Amino acid sequence: MGNWLSDKYAEGTIGRRFYAGCRNVDTVEQIAADHATALFGAAHAYVQPHSGIDANLVAFWAVLAQRVEAPALARAQARHVNDLSDSDWEDLRRDLGNQRMLGMSLDAGGHLTHGFRPNISGKMFHQASYGTDPATGLLDYDQVRAQAREFRPLILIAGYSAYPRKINFRIMREIADEVGATLMVDMAHFAGLVAGKVFTGDFDPIPHAHIVTTTTHKTLRGPRSGMVLCQSELAEQVDRGCPMVLVVLVRLGRLEVVRGRAAGRDGARPLVRLRLGQQVEVCPGISTLLPYRAAPAARCCRLALCASHVCHLSGHMPEQVLSQPARPARRRPIRWIAPGRDGVTLSRAARRGFIAGSPCAPNLTGTAERMGHPVMEHVTFLVVVVIITALAFDFTNGFHDTANAMATSIATGALRPRIAVAISAVLNLAGAFLSVEVAKTISGGIVDDRLVTPPMVFAGLIGAILWNLLTWLLGLPSSSSHALFGGLIGAVWVGAGVQGVHFDTVLEKVLVPALASPLIAGFVAMTATYLAYTITARARHESVATTFRFGQIVSASLVSLAHGTNDAQKTMGVITLTLISTGTLASGSAPPFWVIGAAGLAIALGTYLGGWRIIRTMGKGITEIESPQGFAAEASATTVILASSHLGFALSTTQVVSGAILGTGLGRRLARVRWGVAGRMALAWLLTLPAAAAVGGVAAAVATTGTLGVTVAALVAVAAAAGLYAAGRRNPVHAGNVNELPGTPQPAAA
Amino acid sequence: MDVKWGALGQVFVVSLAVSVAVVVVFSLGVMALSARRSVREHHGDGGSGAVVAATLCFTACAAVVLYGLYLIVPQFH
């Protein structure tokens, strides 16, 4: 990037060079300075620095010259330092080395060149730092004010390299004025946002600070360089940057490129303005992906800061991960953050965390499509959509499975319908809070979880929800777990290819249990029922009815509690794993309290609303149930469920309970089992997986195309769900008529 | 495919044994209660043996329920 200007000695400043033949250099430097002042609205610009540290040094010495050297010269009535006596000169040297500076601490996001010991600035100044409020991670202006009053710095520095927030420069100026300090702002990390008029008013440093420094290669996205902007009273001192700090004018050519490109004449162009604004707009995406402190108000700066103690990552790991070659964003929007090392700024200085910034993203033509605004917004949007959809699924899971616990109790009159669903809802909620084991995989190994992206989870959930609603409309109990598995299988098959589906695991975890559950539970319940009736055959009827009803209530409550610990946990797992996959939670995190609460409430609300259609089928449709049967069925179902979950062979609750009810019908002599209903139920079980998979696959095909696709899929799903609900309203089943079978020969169609 | 047939068999055997045991014991408790009522109807009092039997039966069932709670609530483990 050398040019002819690079080879020219041009020390001094415009019109006052040490060497002759600098007329063209003067012209170029003047143009650059004019562009800089026009771009930022500053009174004066000094454009010679090579970099940020040079610019800062020029600024420091300009302030020292104005505040320390000039008064000393005035006192000695000297015009130039060369005119000072030796003793005055020694006094001045001592005074220059005895000044105080107050800046932001390194661990709060400050910069090394703001007076820290390893840097020359720390060797020049007696430095003190202000931090951020540990609770909020925000700058506490009152604390800055208190510190400034006590420390009385010559220079108050505002600006940062890793503070992901806006700073109110009006307040900082008030503080500086109060203590007689010069306010200096190092805006290198957000200069683009100032130039692009994203930071305005109190957040624009130019009108508030006495002196402002910046680089040109960060958010201004130009070649490497720096500059100093100042108010007019400091202009003369700033222009003494050379010889004071002896910056050599070699980068003007580059600076001119910067001016033309990022701002200056182009600054007013909508596209440039848009790109600069984009750097802020992408931040919600970045902060969604990083568990950085106080995430909610992130839309204010282009940075996201991630402290190691929050994300359990040192600077090294993110650097390695983020330097991976790009992968197609469409397939893996979670991995958007990987499109190339240029997209991310990493600070490894403290090894205590890292920052991810957006400045290069919109600039890189090759990666803009992936790194730019839409992709990152897509991630944020998706996370919200997945969470809402997961909770909706949880809700359908609740009302679909109320019947498992309460259908027999309602049918035998052991509990009044409203009481039954209320008990079940409370126990489901309690169960949600009791469960501690987090799902380690979204699908339990049925699909390749490494290929599962949020759009696929979303699509899978849609498949499961719609199938749950359809079976609810038909009054058919079907496994919500199988519906979710089916939805995910379809979504992954379409989204990532057939190799993403583990069919042997499907056979092992879905098909075999689907066959085994009703058989085992049916046989156990049949045996138990037969024995109960045989033993109590000659017992008094009222003893039998009341006592067995009591037993029914206890066993039904156990089923509800077990349901809460298992099924709510599935949704928590989906939400938590989605948040982990997008980086919002650290890997291995337990579900946050709000996730547990939301999942528990969703399933409890669903349970309380009661899937009355399914309750009717299970309580009345399969067979007429008496209280000994109800007890035998519930006790058997509870035992099978608990045995299966503690002996390492998971069975589906829905199929266990349905099988137990069927078995209890067979176990009581003369009881009539409606095989037609049982057959329809079996058909529904058979169809659950493929049907949910089909819906999930279609949804995935749409949802994996981007934000628009997700929106379309969500709208279609909501419309379909509303349609199914409306169809249900035409022939409502509720607490009042749940125990009345319609007179049609097909009671399940209720 | 790795279907754990052994575990499935275990689930079946344990479920059958526990369910049958609970239902039989519970039914015996019901019988005892019923017997006590019958005795009282005919003699006005008595049936304390039946009460003891019923209490034993239902206590046994309660113990199983508590064990079920223990299994469900992970904090107990």
How far is it, in rounded angstroms, from Cα A527 to Cα A546? 22
Window from A136-140, A364-368, A547-551, A726-730 with minimum mean pLDDT: A364-368
More confidently predicted of A294 and A452: A452
Residues A359 and A401 in one domain: no
- pLDDT for residue A659 is more than 80: yes
The pLDDT, as a whole number, for residue A750 is: 36
A548 or B74: which leads in pLDDT: A548
* Average confidence (pLDDT) over A680-692: 91
Identity of residue A224: R
Residue A126 has pLDDT above 70, yes or no: yes
Position A73 scores a pLDDT of 93
A192 shares a domain with A324 = no
Question: Which one of A26-40, A186-200, A426-440, B18-32 scores highest in mean pLDDT?
Answer: B18-32
Co-location of A123 and A149 in the same domain: yes
pLDDT at A368: 31
Interface test with B, best of A435, A538, A642 (most B CBs within 10 A): A642
pLDDT tens, position by position, A287-303: 333 333 333 333 334 44
Six-digit token string for A566: 């298992």
Whether residue A706 sits in one domain with residue A568: yes
Selected residue with higher pLDDT from A420 and A297: A420
Instruction: Please report the sign of the dihedral spanned by the C-alpha atoms of residue A183, residue A188, residue A194, residue A195.
Output: positive
pLDDT at A235 (0 to 100): 92
Residue A733 pLDDT: 86
Which of A242, A270, A287 represents a domain boundary (last residue)? A242
B39, closest residue in chain A (CA to CA)? A540
Inter-chain contact B4–A648, Cβ cutoff 8 Å?
yes
Domain boundary among A188, A219, A242: A242
> Helix or strand or coil: residue A100?
strand
Average pLDDT value for residue range A67-94: 92
Least confident of A54-68, A328-342, A377-391, A526-540: A328-342
Question: What one-letter code names the amino acid at A31?
Answer: I
Question: Which residue in this structure is represented by tokens 């007429």?
Answer: A624
Residue A509 scores a pLDDT above 90: no
Higher pLDDT, A654 or A257: A654
Report pLDDT for A326: 34
Residues facing A126 on adjacent strands: A100
Subunit contact A649:B69, Cβ cutoff 8 A: no
B-contacting residues in A 133-172 (Cβ below 8 Å): none
Q: Does residue A338 sit in the same domain as residue A440?
A: no
Does residue A261 lie within any of the structural domains?
Answer: no
pLDDT higher than 50, residue A327: no
Question: Does residue A61 or residue A513 have the better pLDDT?
Answer: A61
Q: What is the mean pLDDT of residues A611-618?
A: 89
Contact state of A565 with B72 under an 8 Å Cβ cutoff: yes
| DSSP code of residue A349 | T
For residues A227-244, average pLDDT: 88
- Answer whether B16 sits within 8 Å of A523, measured CB to CB: yes
Chain A segment 688-727 residues within 8 A of B by beta carbon are none
Cα gap A608→A428, rounded to integer Å: 10
Interface of A with B in 648-667 (CB under 8 A): 648-649, 651
Condensed to tens digits (0 to 9), the pLDDT of residues A539-560 reads 888 888 888 989 999 989 988 8
What is the distance between the alpha carbons of residues A700 and A696, in angstroms, rounded to a whole number?
6
- CB pair distance less than 8 Å for A536 and B14: no
Give the range among A189-193, A369-373, A661-665 with minimum mean pLDDT. Answer: A369-373
Residues A410 and A318 in one domain: no
* Per-position DSSP letters for A552-618, written without gaps between them: HHHHHHHHHHHHHHHHHHHHHHHHHHHHHHTTSS-TTPPPPHHHHHHHHHHHHHHHHH--HHHHHII
**Host domain of residue A185:** 52-242
Considering its fold, how many domains does chain A have in total?
3
Domain-embedded: residue A257? no
Q: What is the pLDDT of residue B72?
A: 85
A185-206 pLDDT tens trace: 999 888 877 877 778 888 899 9
| Mean residue pLDDT across chain A | 78
For residues A676 and A298, the model is more confident at A676
Q: Residue A367 pLDDT > 60, yes or no?
A: no
How many Cβ pairs closer than 8 A exist between chain A and B?
136
Least confident interval from A92-96, A197-201, A257-261, A586-590: A257-261
Q: What pLDDT is stored for residue A338 in this prediction?
A: 28
Domain harbouring A118, CATH code: 3.40.640.10
Q: How far is the C-alpha of A470 from the C-alpha of A459, rounded, in Å?
A: 17
Q: Is B61 near chain A, with CB under 8 Å?
A: yes
Taking residues A681-688, report their average pLDDT.
Answer: 90
Encoding tokens for residue A573? 């797992």
Rg of chain B over Cα atoms, rounded to whole angstroms, equals: 18
Q: Is the pLDDT score of A375 beyond 50?
A: no
Q: Are residue A293 and residue A432 in the same domain, yes or no?
A: no
Question: Is A561 within 8 Å of B31 when comparing Cβ atoms?
Answer: no
Q: Is residue A441 part of a domain?
A: yes
Residue A3 pLDDT class (50, 70, 90 cuts): low
- Averaged over A442-452, what is the pLDDT? 77
| ipTM score assigned to the predicted complex | 0.94
**B38 in contact with A, Cβ within 8 Å:** yes
Residues A338 and A385 grouped into a single domain: no
For residue A84, the model assigns a pLDDT of: 92
Query: Looking at the structure, do residues A326 and A363 belong to the same domain, yes or no?
Result: yes
Taking 90 as the threshold, does the pLDDT of residue A353 lie above it? no
Residue A31 located in a structural domain: no
Cα A718–chain centre separation: 24
In chain A, pLDDT over 90 holds for what percent of residues?
Answer: 33
Say yes or no for a CB contact (<8 Å) between A508 and B3: yes
Q: What pLDDT, on the 0 to 100 scale, is given for residue A170? A: 93
Higher-pLDDT residue of A55 and A348 is: A55
| pLDDT the model gives residue A672 | 79
Would you call A527 an interface residue with chain B, using a CB distance cutoff of 8 Å? yes
Which residues in chain A are contacts of B66 at CB distance < 8 A?
Answer: none
What share of chain A has pLDDT > 70, as a percent?
A: 77
The string of DSSP letters for A188-239 reads: TTTHHHHHTTSS-GGG-HHHH-SEEEEESSSTT--SS-EEEEE-HHHHHHHT
pLDDT at A745: 43
Which pLDDT belongs to residue A671? 67
Specify the higher pLDDT residue, A252 or A436. A436
**pLDDT value of residue A2:** 57
pLDDT over threshold 80, residue A336: no
- pLDDT at residue A97 is higher than 80: yes
Q: Note whether A459 and A331 are same-domain residues.
A: no
Return mean pLDDT, chain B.
88
Q: Does B49 touch chain A (CB under 8 A)?
A: no
Answer yes or no: is pLDDT of A218 > 50.
yes
Span A247-273, average pLDDT? 44
- Asked if residue A14 belongs to a domain, the reply is no
- Domain assignment present for residue A248? The answer is no
Domain-ending residue, one of A242, A262, A291: A242
Once rounded to an integer, what is the mean pLDDT over residues A466-492? 91
* A586 CB within 8 Å of a chain B CB: no
Q: How does residue A466 score in pLDDT terms, banded at 50, 70 and 90?
A: very high
CB contact under 8 A, B4 and A636: no
Which of A 547-566 lie inside 8 A of B, CB atoms?
Answer: 547-548, 551, 554-555, 558, 561-562, 565
Residue A740 within any structural domain of the chain: no
Which site among A535, A554, A569 would you substitute to test the B interface, given the most B Cβ atoms closer than 10 Å to its Cβ?
A535
What is the band of A459 on the pLDDT scale with cuts at 50, 70, 90? very high
User: At residue B68, does pLDDT exceed 60?
Assistant: yes
- Name the pLDDT band for A649 (thresholds 50, 70, 90): confident
A158 forms bridges with which residues in the sheet? A185
Is A271 among the domain residues? no
Q: What is the mean pLDDT of residues A246-260?
A: 49
- From A555, A511, A643, select the one nearest B13 (Cα to Cα): A643
pLDDT band at A5 (very low <50, low <70, confident <90, very high): low
pLDDT higher than 90, residue A390? yes
The whole-number pLDDT of residue A651 equals 83
Q: Residues of A with CB below 8 A from B73's CB?
A: 434, 561, 565
pLDDT digits (tens, 9 = 90+) for A571-587: 888 888 788 776 677 66
Do residues A85 and A228 both lie within one domain? yes
In this structure, the answer to whether residues A70 and A210 fall within a common structural domain is yes
User: Do B31 and A431 lie within an 8 Å CB cutoff?
Assistant: no
- Residue A689: the pLDDT is 92
Specify the pLDDT at position A311.
40
